[in-house]
């Protein structure tokens, strides 16, 4: 995994035995990947931090909130979670969840979490 991420331009930022972190920055923003290698599953968290924070219209924010499965106060804003979807590839199953952190009227972070059963 580290070799493939390095090929894509990611730099290793951390390692603690059962987990690893990588990061890639460019003019489009910062993409951070963290993987947890647990005995019964692998969990991959992808974070995207946009370089420019452009406020959204109230109508768009309202639609995001309507589409959300739930919301919670976090990191000085509101994190909304969208519907978790099931994944199945070559007989292996997992889930995919997506989140957005909104501060004021601006999305400041997007997060996708993929969990695969071993």
- Structural domain boundaries of the chain? 2-117
Q: pLDDT tens digit string along 21-67?
A: 889 998 889 999 998 888 898 999 999 998 888 889 999 989 988 99
The model's pTM: 0.78
Note the Cα 95 to chain centre separation in Å. 13
pLDDT of residue 17: 67
Residue 37: phi, psi to the nearest 5?
Answer: -105, 90
Select from 75, 61, 59, 63 the least CA-distant residue to 111. 75
pLDDT of 1 > 80? The answer is no
């Amino acid at each position: 995994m580290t070799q493939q991420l390095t090929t894509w331009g990611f730099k290793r930022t951390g390692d603690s035995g059962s987990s690893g972190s990588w990061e890639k920055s460019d003019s489009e923003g910062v993409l951070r990947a963290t993987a947890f290698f647990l005995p019964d599953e692998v969990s991959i968290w992808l974070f995207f931090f946009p370089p420019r924070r452009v406020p959204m219209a109230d109508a768009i924010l309202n639609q995001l909130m309507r589409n959300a499965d739930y919301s919670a106060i976090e990191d000085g804003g509101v994190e909304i979670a969208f519907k978790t979807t099931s994944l199945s590839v070559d007989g292996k199953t997992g889930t995919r969840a997506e989140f957005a952190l909104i501060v004021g009227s601006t999305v400041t972070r997007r997060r996708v979490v993929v969990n695969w059963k071993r």
